[in-house]
Chains A and B, each alone.
Chain A
Amino acid sequence: MSTTTVPPEVEAYLASVREELDDLPSAERDDLLAEVEDSLVEAAADGPIAARLGRPEDFAAELRAAAGLHARPAEQRPGASSRWRELAAGIAAHPRIRSLWHLAGELAPAWWLVRGYLAVAALALLLDASWSVNHPWMPLLLGSAWGGVLVIAAAVAVSMWAGLRLRGAHGAAARTAIAANVLLVLALVPVVQHLREPRPERVLYVTEAAAPLPGLASSGSSVLNIYPYSRDGQLLHDVLLYDQFGNPIEIGHNGVADPNRRFLRTAIGAALFNSFPIRYYEPGTTRVARPNAGPSIRVPSIETPPLPAP
């Protein structure tokens, strides 16, 4: 466009003006910029141009107005570089992003609801208000939990109203709304942290079942052996015991079988842990020293109720 070097000051100014015109058709924009560039190079010789021409945005706006071109659409106002804007537009045009964006739009009312609560909760934290014990998420405001309910309801109503009002808004209102939303999202952190704090103890009585004893137990103490007697006082040997489900009642069936214990075995050699009384061999032998040993008991004299034979 020009055969001489453009001073950096003019270069920077022109770049900013070009950015402000980036929504125009390229031919239109190039014509305008060619006019401006030549003139600015010359004007720069008369003194610093930025001081004389004002902000590039204002310069560009004046240029458009005088050239009879439409003003820049308001929502494209932010001065991000056009490359970023193109990138953002490219991402936004992706079908998946668009459907996500659409979904976000549909979910917006849910966020309006949440942010109403968040605003009140954050305020309660700032004011160091007390919180309801029964409903830990409810701050006590205006003197009671009902005050909290009232304030939250009002905040949600205002939030919904603002959400509906500002939907698709541009300019300062939209920027304020974005800033408020960002603040409220940040408020999530302290509020969630507060809600996750352990509650003050309310339950003072804890009933705790005693841990069950391993193996057989009777009246709270372990049963280590069982001595079955017939009703005429005769110690029985090798009696197999089963519970009400038919499961063997076993003692000592934990881990390795004691090598000194005398086991009844099945045909394939599996030890039965439910045969009583348990007898022990003399160490290193297969001999039980006193097969009839047992606790000293006295079988009482018994009246036998009739039990029909099966």
Chain B
Amino acid sequence: MDRSQLLRGTLDAATLAVIAEHDGYGYDVVRRLRAAGLGDVGDASVYGTLRRLYRAGALTSYVMPSDEGPHRRYYGITERGHEQLAEARAIWADFSLALSNLLKTDVGVTV
């Protein structure tokens, strides 16, 4: 199974989930996604996704000065983003349950 394909289909939901926890800026979102186990997520994919979600109205954006570096463009989740996230959660719950059942092996090999 191609992990990058799976990631492509689920990165919107993952990004929304990370920002729903608390607001974050680009590189911060990358780090938090990696820390959550998506070690192979690409920086460019995250930045692109943030811009797209922002354009679609799922995120808001604001700039905060930072002491140690450049200004940071923070993203927060909007009402619309919350709706999208809830929808993604429902789809994923269904989907992952179905796939977990399908891929279950009776020899007890854990994936």
Contacts and interface: CB of A to CB of B under 8 A. Distances in A.
Partners in one complex: yes
B47 A63 contact: yes
A226 interface: no
B73 A62 contact: no
A66 B70 contact: no
A26 to B, nearest CB: 15
B71 A38 contact: yes
A64 B47 CA distance: 9
A246 to B, nearest CB: 101
B33 interface: no
B49 interface: yes
Contacts, number: 85
Contact of B27 (A6, A43, A63): A43
A59 B25 contact: no
B72 interface: yes
Nearest to B50: A35
A153 interface: no
Interface string A152-172: 000000000000000000000
* Chain A, interface SS category: helix
A38 B73 CA distance: 8
B11 to A, nearest CB: 7
Interface in A17-73: 31-32, 34-43, 45, 52-53, 58-60, 62-69
Contacts of B72: 38, 42
Q: Which 6 A-B pairs have the closest CB atoms?
A: A66-B48, A2-B70, A67-B48, A39-B26, A62-B44, A39-B27
B46 interface: yes
A41 B48 contact: no
Contact of B44 (A31, A38, A60): A60
A203 B47 CA distance: 81
Interface in B33-67: 42-52, 55, 65
Contacts of B19: none
A41 B51 contact: no
B104 to A, nearest CB: 32
Contacts of A35: 26, 47, 50-51, 73
A60 B45 CA distance: 9
Contact of A4 (B45, B46, B70): B70
A254 interface: no
A221 interface: no
Nearest to B72: A38
Which of B42, B47, B71 gathers most chain A CB within 10 Å?
Answer: B47
Contacts of B65: 3
A38 B51 contact: no
A267 interface: no
Interface string B9-24: 0010000000000000
A63 B26 CA distance: 13
A209 interface: no
A89 interface: no
B47 A32 contact: yes
B30 to A, nearest CB: 7
A297 B30 CA distance: 129
A302 interface: no
A31 B69 contact: no
Given A66-B11, A66-B49, A53 B44 contact: yes
